């Protein structure tokens, strides 16, 4: 007579019977529930952590790419005819034309940059001013977003655009007049005197980044050239590309198009340190959450050890009925594996639901705590999203199943090795 195949139906039935057994019947239902709840919460915590990490990185990178140049092209320092040192670009139109011809470049805009003191009534703040053409400003996604901005971008050529937090610091709104003070202004025979101009606030933008909205303003390109003494020149050119994540492959082509004096500074150069820190934090958080899953899985060992001890008589009877060591081992393995599998399934459901409704949950917590749970001035971005990714969920599932199933083997092996004679001797 052929022996039954491994993992036959009766093995699942016995395992399920043991799993549901009450304490009075020699079961360990309390330990089963503790193991199940522990794995559920651990898997959910792992998925939530990975989703929040992915959401934070995406939001952070989105604010960088949506409000800044993907690549900044500027000039090496050179000596002027008067003997001074300059880094401006007199032939910026030619540079822009050559850079626009590089495959993968979507936008090239000449810039004039400078720092000013902005004053409105009794309020003042320091701002970094970008001189840019109105049509180029309209192509910056995070700046030209009508859903988050206030004012009319079409009126930019007759005024100034400033960030939301800067407008709040100055106490201004659209239609108000703000005074810009440039300490390196008018040069005369007796030295340099500050240049002071007044501009109407025609547009208030919200880039999604607190530091940008706090310190940045935009002036029309021609006006910025005059205000910062850059007549006929540009300080740099900002370049946007179709594939910013692969900017390294495009950098040599941009350098070649810019010429011998061209230098480039990519968005990864400016944010690389922070992104690398995020990667390290991701690894550390995954390891910590994995330890949490391991600890939760260890409860399965406790439950199975107690179950094996309580079911010694059953093991002896099953062995005398013809069950092999392998069959007994599979029965107790299935008992523990079912706990791990069910805990993983419930954890995935709980974690995914939490991530999907994360904005509402965070808003509720923020309201309950009276605000200040997510402070943009400290965190840098205004919101903390959660982004579910399939690979993150699969990695959490794989980790949980490997740990819970692997741990189950030890008490299951002990049950299989139990001598049926010894198990029945004192029954």
**Residue ranges of domains in the chain:** 9-62+274-425, 77-260
- Give the pair of three-digit tokens for residue 182: 């440039």
Tell whether the model's pLDDT for residue 301 goes beyond 70: yes
pLDDT at 336: 76
CB-based burial, 180-204: b 16+ in 10 Å, e otherwise? bebeebeeeeeeeeebebebebbbb
Tell whether the model's pLDDT for residue 306 goes beyond 70: no
45, 37, 50: which is closest to 395 by C-alpha? 50
pLDDT in tens, 233-272: 999 999 999 999 888 899 999 999 988 889 999 998 888 7
Tell whether the model's pLDDT for residue 427 goes beyond 60: no
Alpha helices of 241-375 — where are they, by DSSP H? 247-258, 267-310, 312-320, 325-356, 358-368
51, 176, 356, 391 from 55: Cα distances, Å: 6, 37, 11, 14
Tell whether the model's pLDDT for residue 5 goes beyond 90: no
237, 238, 162: which is closest to 205 by C-alpha? 162
For residue 264, report the phi and psi dihedrals to the nearest 5 degrees.
-125, 150
360, 296, 357, 371: which is closest to 51 by C-alpha? 357
pLDDT at 254: 92
Tell whether the model's pLDDT for residue 13 goes beyond 50: yes
Higher pLDDT: 289 or 320? It is 289
pLDDT at 25: 46
pLDDT at 409: 74
User: What whole-number distance in Å separates Cα of residue 414 and Cα of residue 204?
Assistant: 71
Tell me the three state secondary structure of residue 239: strand
Calculate the CA 173 to chain-centre distance. 32
Average model confidence (pLDDT) for the chain?
82
Residues 6+ apart with CB under 8 A from 95: 73, 89, 237, 258, 259, 262
User: What whole-number distance in Å separates Cα of residue 362 and Cα of residue 86?
Assistant: 50
**Model confidence band, residue 193 (pLDDT cutoffs 50, 70, 90):** confident
- Secondary structure of the chain: what % helix, strand, coil (to 5)? 55, 20, 25
**Model confidence band, residue 308 (pLDDT cutoffs 50, 70, 90):** low
Tell whether the model's pLDDT for residue 344 goes beyond 50: yes
- Give the pair of three-digit tokens for residue 212: 């940008």
Q: What is the mean pLDDT of residues 53-71?
A: 87
Give the number of C-alpha atoms closer than 13 A to the C-alpha of residue 154, restricted to the C-beta side: 0
The helix (run of H) or strand (run of E) holding residue 108 is strand 105-120
SS (H, E, C) 361-423: HHHHHHHHCCCCCCCHHHHCECCCCCCCCHHHHHHHHHHHHHHHHHHHHHHHHHHHCCCHHHH
Q: What is the mean pLDDT of residues 1-23?
A: 62
pLDDT at 26: 44
User: What whole-number distance in Å separates Cα of residue 239 and Cα of residue 68?
Assistant: 9
């Amino acid at each position: 007579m052929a022996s039954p195949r491994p993992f036959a139906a009766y093995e699942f039935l016995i395992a399920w019977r043991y799993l549901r057994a009450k304490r009075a019947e020699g079961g360990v239902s309390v330990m089963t529930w503790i193991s199940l709840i522990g794995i559920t919460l651990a898997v959910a915590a792992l998925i939530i952590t990975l989703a929040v990490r992915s959401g934070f990185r995406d939001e952070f990178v989105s604010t960088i790419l949506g409000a800044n140049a993907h690549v900044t092209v500027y000039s090496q320092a050179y000596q002027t005819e008067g003997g001074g040192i300059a880094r401006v670009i007199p032939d910026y139109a030619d540079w822009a034309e050559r850079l626009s011809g590089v495959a993968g470049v979507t936008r090239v805009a000449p810039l004039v940059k400078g720092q000013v003191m902005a004053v409105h009534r009794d309020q003042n703040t320091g701002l970094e001013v970008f001189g840019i053409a109105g049509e180029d400003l309209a192509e910056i996604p995070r700046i030209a977003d009508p859903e988050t901005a206030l004012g009319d971008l079409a009126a930019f050529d007759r005024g100034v655009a400033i960030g939301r937090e800067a407008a709040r610091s100055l106490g201004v709104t659209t239609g108000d007049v703000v005074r810009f003070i440039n300490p390196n202004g008018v040069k005369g025979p007796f030295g340099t005197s500050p240049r002071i101009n007044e501009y109407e606030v025609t547009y208030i933008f919200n880039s999604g980044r607190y530091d940008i909205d706090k310190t940045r303003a935009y002036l029309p390109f021609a006006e910025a050239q005059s205000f910062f003494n850059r007549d006929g020149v540009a300080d740099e050119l900002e370049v946007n590309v179709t594939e910013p994540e692969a900017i390294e492959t495009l950098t040599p082509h941009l350098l070649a198009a810019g010429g011998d004096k061209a230098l480039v500074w990519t968005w990864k150069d400016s944010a690389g340190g922070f992104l690398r820190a995020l990667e390290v934090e991701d690894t550390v958080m995954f390891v910590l959450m994995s330890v949490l899953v391991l600890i939760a899985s260890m409860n399965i060992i406790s439950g199975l050890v107690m179950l094996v001890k309580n079911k010694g008589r059953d093991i002896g009877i099953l062995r005398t009925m013809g069950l092999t060591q392998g069959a007994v081992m599979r029965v107790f393995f299935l008992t523990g594996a079912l706990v791990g599998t069910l805990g993983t399934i419930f954890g995935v459901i709980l974690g995914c639901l939490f991530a999907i409704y994360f904005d509402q949950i965070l808003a509720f917590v923020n309201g309950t705590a009276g605000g200040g749970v997510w402070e943009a001035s400290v965190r840098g971005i205004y919101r903390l999203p959660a982004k579910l990714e399939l690979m993150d969920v699969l990695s959490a599932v794989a980790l949980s199943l490997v740990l819970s199933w692997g741990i189950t083997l030890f008490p299951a092996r002990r049950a299989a090795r139990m001598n049926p004679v010894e198990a029945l001797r004192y029954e």
